[in-house]
Amino acid sequence: MAYDELKSIIEKSSNIVFLGGAGVSTESNIPDFRSKDGLYNAVTKYGYPPETLISHSFFKSHTKEFFEYYKENLIYLDAKPNKAHYALAKLENEGKLKAVVTQNIDNLHQLAGSKNVFELHGSVFRNYCMNRNCGEFYSAEDIINMDGVPYCKKCGSIIKPDVVLYEEGLDNYVWSSAVNFIKNADVLIVGGTSLVVYPAAGLINYYQGNKLILINKSETSYDGKANLVIHDSIGKVLGEVCEID
C-alpha cells in the first residue's frame, strides 16, 4: 500500500524536504484564489482576474482596489494549521525534515511549529512602510483594521505587504536556500500543488535523488517522474502516516 511505502521511506530518512502549494492551506479553509471559483468571484466582483488584482502594476495604479481584494481574499487571521502542517512540524522536531518550502503566505507552517520555513511568495503577516527612510513594520491585524489603503502612522507613506506580487521577482536568499535544500535532499515530498505555477514548480527539477513523492488530489505533469504518487488529501496522507491525532 502506498501509505506503508511512504511511512517506510520517511522512517529510513533523516534528510527530507517538503515542497508545498495551495492545497496544503485549502484544508485549513483558505480558498485557492487560482481555482475556478476564485477566478469567477474575482472577475464578477472586481472586474479583473486574480493575477491582475495582485500584480505589481495594479498595486501601483489601482492601490485602493488592490487592498480591497487583498484584505478580502488573502488574509485569513482565524485559519488554523491542519494535520499536514502538524505532521511536517513533527518530522522536523524528530530531525527528519530539514526544510519546508512553501508557496503559501499564511504562516500556518510556523503556527504548527515548523522553524526552517522558506516562504517563496512572502507572508501576509509582514507589512512594511514603503518609505525607505522609515520601513516601519505592521502586522496583518494592523492592515485589516485600517480603512482603505493602509498608510504608515509614522510618516504617512503607503504600507506594502511583504508578499511577492505578480511581475515581482522572488527573494534571492529564499530561492537559493530552497534550491540548496532540495538539491541535497534524500527525500523530496511535494504536496498540495498541481505544479503549474512557476518559478516555484521548477524547483522540483533541482532534486537529484530517487525518492520523489507526489501527494495531490489531482494528477500533475510530474506524476510520471515520481517514485511514489498518492492522489489524496495531503492532510489525510501525512496525518495518517505521521500519526497525527
For the purposes of burial, counting CB atoms within 10 Å of the CB of 80, is it exposed (0-12), middle (13-18) or buried (19 or more)? Answer: exposed
| The amino acid at 190 | V
Q: Which residues contact 1 (CB under 8 A, 6 or more apart)?
A: none
Query: Which residues are designated catalytic?
Result: 121
Residue 75: closest CA among 50, 51, 96, 104: 104
Task: Supply the DSSP string of 87-106, one letter for each residue.
Answer: HHHHHHHTT-EEEEEES--S
Rounded-to-integer distance, Cα 38 and Cα 232, Å: 22
Q: Which residues contact 230 (CB under 8 A, 6 or more apart)?
A: 2, 3, 6, 213, 214, 215, 237
| The amino acid at 45 | K
Q: 236 — phi, psi (to 5°)? A: -65, -45
Q: Which residues contact 33 (CB under 8 A, 6 or more apart)?
A: 39, 42, 50, 54, 73, 74
Give, for 16, the enclosing helix (H) or strand (E): strand 16-20
Query: CA triplet 50, 79, 229: central angle to 5 degrees?
Result: 75
